Structure 1
Amino acid sequence: MIYYVLKDIFKGRSIGKRLIGLKVVDKNNNNDVPGTIRLMLRNITILIISKGAKSIEE
């Protein structure tokens, strides 16, 4: 779980994003990577939503 929360911290790219050439960018400035806290909150939100979707399916 720690990896999932911190995965985009290094230049806005996780291992998978590096492999296919993607990165997370700030919505206000497409050249900047969002700050560490913003990236962590993004990943936590995605984790919570995906856990909720799994519980609905079951």
Structure 2
Amino acid sequence: METGYPRNDILYSANKESLIKKIKQELGIGEDKKIILYAPTWRGNEFYESWPV
């Protein structure tokens, strides 16, 4: 059985430091910078209208 989250499972591999370095290089982020993810989710139970596309 495969478990976990495919988007971030790669960061838990044995060579995670080199993978993180490669990702930062591809995104143009300095190696000395810390990355923080802010990803709010919709928690309400009321729906008024859809988001414009």
- TM-score calculated relative to the size of structure 1: 0.27
Higher relative contact order (CA 8 A, sep 6+): 1
Would you tell me which structure has more helix in proportion to its own residues?
A: 1
- TM-score calculated relative to the size of structure 2: 0.29
Rg comparison, structure with higher value: 2
